[in-house]
Chains A and B, each alone.
Chain A
């Protein structure tokens, strides 16, 4: 009986996730939102595969896009071969090609890079990333030079009359793979090997004493992570129908790190939050402001400095409070915290937008608008207002910040005493 309940408990979140994924296109049915959700799908797989290294095994990689990109290239080449030769392989199986490519290259590069841990590993990964990025300009046959490799997903074997032309069909393909990979990666964290990864992260010396080779554990984690990165790359290749040399470069390697870390690396759900948030921000913010990369960078630095558990960590911190019902106690303090937060947010956004307007769009004159409110970017009043907002925000933060922290700690203390009491 209890086993059944437990099993239901494990399955419920996944069933809910599957239901949400199936229903989403009916709620957000426009073409742009379908595209955005497809992007989120492979971003989630990529970020989770990255977190297998950083969060689970403690390996900070600066070259993870190598496996993502090579998986994408292999999938594109496979698609072209299948399309030309009319091989009877349906499209839904093709991300597997990307995964196997990612796995093979992870075995190759992982063998040398996982010999070391810590900063040395980070630097080897950076070196390998730069190496492959530089190779992509030399090996024009494979990487397609400047133009990249373009392909067509509709020329494969059709099953049940589905040709994967419309975006909705691609969305469901990506969503299915995303769920499958998420479940597989979650299952990996529950295996003894997954637990050993945590041990290697937390205390490599003791893991060695217990009799495990830390190098081997790192190597296996690296290979599995490379496989899922390759699947993500394959899904991206199917979505875009083109792969260019820039996907193996430092850019995607950096952005996957940002995604995973902003979301939170110490929880399984963290990178998922990060991937969804960053993809949404990337698409929606880039419409409104030219400085969106600056916002992302700023957010990352703030998370590193003040919330090292990430946004997911901030949310999950409240789990005991919810369980014990003491969450009501923190609400007044949080409402109070909205004051400095909104002051700083509005001030910061105005500062960035106004300077961005003055510097980048200088030719358009100094008249500008933020949220339909027009003002003159060069007027002293605007700048005084911005500085006043920021100053007041900082001052309020200094006063209210400790109170919020006190309220939270008090509520958590009460929650833990309540929960531990019989």
Chain B
């Protein structure tokens, strides 16, 4: 009895969380312009998403989101990994200070990060666009990479790297053959995290993107919503993104479970 109650509570919360998503998916199969109107089953939105009928600006917004996300995640991964190795080898007092500053972008509300970066760029007279968005994204993504790489360094056997050097490996060789394989899982999860944060970001992007007409998916949707409607093609697009992520996570989970057995 208790168990049934508990399970139905979880079920109820999940229903609440998923209701809006189901609405998007269901209404991606109809042509109606306004979300919530049903004008009969149709795959037209999916077709127009794939056959160039797609709003030109939506396509470029999607493209910008992916490019910015990939560049920001890649640079953050490199910068964050090198930083984590460096921070790990700092004296405790300096290390604490750097880690504290590293936590600032994570704990700061995004609107504060956004406004502070906006003020930085306008004070320096840098015109805002692609570069500023990418720099801004790197600045709030890298701390997460540091946090995901750092625990792996702590868990690693200190002597392995020294042993490699003693056996005649150059520092670079030891880095490539000893350090990197140990850090790889942390780097990968850092990259994925950074990419996710970047493509999901709205506030920081809005403040650093300038007004030259550059759009990412988030700013596009925001502008769209302010105009009073959502481009209908966003429904099938969201449905596809959702299903892809769902399948990916299930596969990863399944494989992780198998590995443990």
Asked if A and B are interacting partners, one says no
The chain A residues found within 8 Å of chain B, CB to CB, are none
